[in-house]
Structure 1
């Protein structure tokens, strides 16, 4: 059986779903992509048993077939063939074992196939709530919070993004929160139509990352379906279904120091550049940075165990008594990378209390940082 398809379309389709598959799998079938042909369409399926993905493209198909082949080898071959090339896939079901021949120009490649009988079923299932959300809103929620996701498996309920509906100042919003205890990130968007019944869910880290990849470059709305144990996202020709983290997210509001009253304002670019420069002297895994906050400037200081040190002053706006505190420099940079506008606002209380960080121009995004011991 022969399938004629453009390499660009095939490459894009596999590119959307190949990163879900782990490089090493105890079960060979999980290293494969399931290929199904029917009525001039090709469908591709991948899974790691936690996330399932499906991509559908149009193709010139001579018949119906279902089989599987190694996804990463298939993808790498197509990537090296290049875009906008005519590709022919030839399957010989009568051969045992079945093989797939890839032909493009003068190139030929043969890949082994495994029967699709053992490939896990792809099931979208029913959802308690289904709604559309703009790709920009979903990207905003995930991008602003994913850096704060915990890697501590003993606190598995923190290994993802908490997505839920809340009322903020009388307005219902869709809010995303992530924390690793040392820091917290929170972002919210206006509640999409028909999303009011979305149950509280914890989106796994890998699922969040895969969604960001699919959103990149996509224009239009995304359909999300949510239930207590599963989420489905339809993005163009791609459908992604993921299990959710089964756990209860803690009451994060207790960790947000809303009553901090000492306000520090600085340039995002100046602060980011200063941190990057002053920590260049440090070879420590955790690069601590000390901030001495004056009324018209911030003095940033970093040192290294080999006695190297660096100090930089940048202008700032601050109208309270001097405070000296310290943070993990990477955590501050992660926040600054996710702020819009020109100014960052730090709301402080004392040198050893949590700090609330916001953009000077976007109140829908908040961050909390715990200081290091000086």
Structure 2
């Protein structure tokens, strides 16, 4: 293999693929990226056996061929090469190594044979649909913060995506919950998604996907089966295993009878929560909301360091209510709201609270209260 390409193109592609590779691997080949040069492109592939990413980048191929080299090492080398330079990648069949040369810099990397590199066999996909990158980004951004990190409840360690009939229209919906809060987002279901199975996309896949859908002009092709999902975003193909589990019936925890409506200015509220929670301890991040006619008082008490209060003018005309929430969870939710106001639908101090965005009803949040 002998191939020359622009440093910026090589770095951009390596940046996408090397992130999938775990830093510590018991299987040496999983530390490597597969490079395959043919025609006028260099294909790169990396995998951790659950997630596989491939990307093609244009290159000047003098001699076709393929090999595998350490992914993080190659990325670090290319990252440190001078801007605007050209990079030559050439394998040396005599000693199973690859030369990386640019200007006066020259590196020799140990290779492992391509035949050892695992292939994440995708099988047949039952459903294929396309949606704008902006919509997919919205579905992920609005829900991913609520993904559980508790390994014992592995079926909550991802985003649940499915289609659902809502007010006579078919919606593509994402849901995430960790048992303390729940986030839900909807877009109009694209053609081809009808009848697709409800699937759980793992947390790591969600994180990689989030970084790939930052170009608003792209359209993403999504292919789904019972066990795998594949995203094609421009020249990048991301294939992932799905979480083999049953997502709980989230509809049951979304309250329907909350009749006390509290409207707050989103930015002022978030800043006030952030200020008073400065005094809270790491363990107990509870902030108490005392709501009375047109006024909200935020209070944090920490026996070790003191207390803090702040008052805000709000829209509220029901019976006075005191309720406690985790400050971090309040901030996570308000960060996702795009409207100027947030609407809290409350019932009582012990019941889940519903949070809506005034900018639209495409997202909804449920927050469990804390005892304060």
Q: TM-score range by the shorter chain?
A: over 0.9
Unaligned runs of 5+ in 1: none
| Contact kept? 2:345, 2:355, Cα under 8 Å | yes
Q: Which of 210, 213, 217 pairs up with 2:211?
A: 213
1:275-332 Cα shifts (integer Å, max 9, x gaps): 1111112242442111111221211111223141111111110010111111111101
Structure 1 residue 365 and structure 2 residue 363: aligned? yes
Q: Which of 259, 264, 274 pairs up with 2:262?
A: 264
Q: CA separation in 2, counterparts of 1:231 and 1:295?
A: 50
Q: CA separation in 1, counterparts of 2:367 and 2:161?
A: 21
Q: Which of 198, 204, 207 pairs up with 2:196?
A: 198
When normalised by structure 2's length, the TM-score is 0.97
| Contact kept? 1:225, 1:232, Cα under 8 Å | yes
Q: Which of 265, 274, 286 pairs up with 1:276?
A: 274
| Contact kept? 2:132, 2:216, Cα under 8 Å | no
- What is aligned with 1:163? 161
Trace 1:34-113 onto structure 2 (pairs within 5 A): 34-93=34-93, 95-96=94-95, 98-113=96-111
Q: CA separation in 2, counterparts of 1:166 and 1:279?
A: 38
What secondary structure, in the 3-state scheme, does the structure 2 residue paired with 1:265 have? strand
Q: CA separation in 1, counterparts of 2:283 and 2:236?
A: 39
Cα drift, residue 82 of structure 1: 4.2
Structure 1 residue 16 and structure 2 residue 16: aligned? yes
What secondary structure, in the 3-state scheme, does the structure 2 residue paired with 1:291 have? strand
Q: CA separation in 2, counterparts of 1:263 and 1:332?
A: 16
| Contact kept? 1:131, 1:195, Cα under 8 Å | yes
Matched length: 372
Distance 1:288-1:27 versus aligned 2 partners, 3 A rule: same
Q: Which moved more, 1:2-11 or 1:57-66?
A: 57-66
Q: CA separation in 1, counterparts of 2:307 and 2:293?
A: 24
- What is aligned with 1:311? 309
| Contact kept? 1:356, 1:366, Cα under 8 Å | yes
| Contact kept? 1:128, 1:199, Cα under 8 Å | no
1:123-175 Cα shifts (integer Å, max 9, x gaps): 34321100101101111111111111111222111111110000001010000
Q: Which moved more, 1:8-17 or 1:215-224?
A: 215-224
Distance 1:82-1:209 versus aligned 2 partners, 3 A rule: farther
Q: Which moved more, 1:76-85 or 1:63-72?
A: 76-85
Q: CA separation in 1, counterparts of 2:29 and 2:305?
A: 54
Q: CA separation in 2, counterparts of 1:293 and 1:213?
A: 40
Unaligned runs of 5+ in 2: none
What secondary structure, in the 3-state scheme, does the structure 2 residue paired with 1:12 have? helix
| Contact kept? 1:128, 1:197, Cα under 8 Å | no
What secondary structure, in the 3-state scheme, does the structure 1 residue paired with 2:149 have? coil
| Contact kept? 2:279, 2:305, Cα under 8 Å | no
Q: CA separation in 2, counterparts of 1:171 and 1:114?
A: 52
| Contact kept? 2:32, 2:46, Cα under 8 Å | yes
- What is aligned with 1:116? 114
1:166-189 Cα shifts (integer Å, max 9, x gaps): 000101000001111111000000
Cα drift, residue 108 of structure 1: 1.4
Cα drift, residue 2 of structure 1: 2.4
